[in-house]
Amino acid sequence: MTLIYSFLFCGLLCLIAQVIMDNTKLTPGHITSIYVVLGTILGCFNIYDNIVDFVGAGANIPIISFGNLLINSAYQGYLSDGIIGLFGNMLTDVGVGVVSAVVFAFLLSIPFKVKD
């Protein structure tokens, strides 16, 4: 049942983004930014963790979970090291994902020709 909930959650996020793009002049970059901010807000109030508990790992796949990870990492850093830990710990949980995205994008761009 968790697979179905994960599929429905990710599909609902995609549906909402598509409806917004079809009915407004917002671009995919705008939608991505909105989802990251929404994930941060939901993470602040511990709502996103409840969604992850219900939906499962499928809630950790979309970009909305990036904001949740940022706020959770910053909060854990704040609890351990104070205000310095707030900024020093912010990217620890998402660092591997960001670096791997850059590396794989570079590796996949090597065999293909750039279009003008």
Which one has a higher pLDDT value, 98 or 38? 38
pLDDT at residue 116 in the model = 66
Residue 116 lies in a domain: no
pLDDT per position as a tens digit, 43-74 = 999 999 999 999 998 898 889 999 999 999 99
Question: How many domains does the chain fold into?
Answer: 1
115 pLDDT higher than 90:
no
What is the spatial distance between Cα 3 and Cα 112, in angstroms, rounded to a whole number? 35
- Provide DSSP, 54-92: HH-GGGGSSTHHHHHHHHHHHHHHHHHHTHHHHHHSTTT
Residue 114 lies in a domain: no
Residue 32 lies in a domain: yes
pLDDT per position as a tens digit, 79-105 = 999 999 888 888 888 888 889 999 999
CB 17 within 8 A of CB 35: yes
Residue 61 lies in a domain: yes
Q: Confidence band (pLDDT; 50, 70, 90) for 37?
A: very high
Q: Please give the residue range of the domain that contains residue 17.
A: 2-109
